[in-house]
Amino acid sequence: MTRQGEAAGSSVTSKVLALLEAFTPDAADLSLSELARRSGVSLATAHRRAAELVEWGALERDAAGRYRIGLRLWEVASLAPRGLGLRDAAMPFLEDLYEVTHENVQLAVREGLEVVFLERLAGRGAVPVWTRVGGRFALHATGVGLVLLAHAPAAVQEEVLGAPLHGYTPKTVCDPARLRRILADVRKHGYSVSDGQVTVDALSVGAPVFAADGTVTAAVSLVVRADSAQPGALAPLVMAAARGICRSLAGGPSRVFPAGPR
């Protein structure tokens, strides 16, 4: 979401953050005037701050004078413990789950009231999904989102359930009372099911990744075509991958699926 008006942030830091926030998947490269307009800062301020960001490496400027996110920012972001470190620990298990199924395999964490996707593996014939690495999504509709919401603090759950819930398809659960029952089932059974809630042709099964203190630090999901499998058959695979990631984070064994041909 872009800021409206320079009054949205008067400090140097807020203006720099507004410039970075102006970039989105649909606007990955911007002219100076676009950058100023989308960030809500003046053209002169955008020019001055963008030049500093280019010098530091947070932004890059191409031959046509358009700006895009720079590699230096990616390097800093990779230090986030819930980002690259978690992804590295999870990759062997995500890859195993993919090799067993050749379907969409996803790893996500909760950031505030949204899901952030850290990794996605997908086969050529897998059902199309809306998610992308680094992308955000609502908590109430996806398999990983339902897991993360079910294990979120009560205050987070109340904030999500107390706000209008967007219906992506006719099957998206937007009734708070029904959603509370679904979240209770996720905690009881150890996995979530999102059947046609984001796109009508996709079914997602998610499972929690627990930290050493018992909190849920991430979620894993498998997304398949809605008519291709039953959730009960997919759940053990997803839960095994999630348990493997838990053990890896704790320094335990590194495999949960049998080696050899699949």
Give residue 76's pLDDT. Answer: 76
CA distance 38 to 54: 18
Q: Is the pLDDT of residue 245 over 90?
A: yes
pTM exceeding the 0.75 threshold for the entire prediction:
no
CA-wise closest residue to 161 among 152, 174, 148: 174
pLDDT in tens, 69-104: 887 887 677 666 655 578 888 999 999 999 999 999
pLDDT in tens, 105-114: 999 999 899 9
pLDDT in tens, 187-232: 999 999 999 999 999 999 999 999 888 899 999 999 999 888 888 8
Domain layout of the chain by residue ranges: 6-76, 81-249
Give residue 249's pLDDT. Answer: 85
CATH class belonging to 6-76: mainly alpha
pLDDT band at residue 2 under the 50/70/90 scheme? very low
CA distance 65 to 60: 9
pLDDT band at residue 8 under the 50/70/90 scheme? very low
pLDDT in tens, 149-162: 999 999 999 999 99
Mean pLDDT of 10-25: 84
CA distance 141 to 159: 15
The listed CATH number (3.30.450.40, 3.50.50.60, 3.40.50.620, 3.40.50.920) that belongs to domain 81-249? 3.30.450.40
CA distance 222 to 226: 12
pLDDT band at residue 138 under the 50/70/90 scheme? very high
Fold match flag (6-76 vs 81-249): no
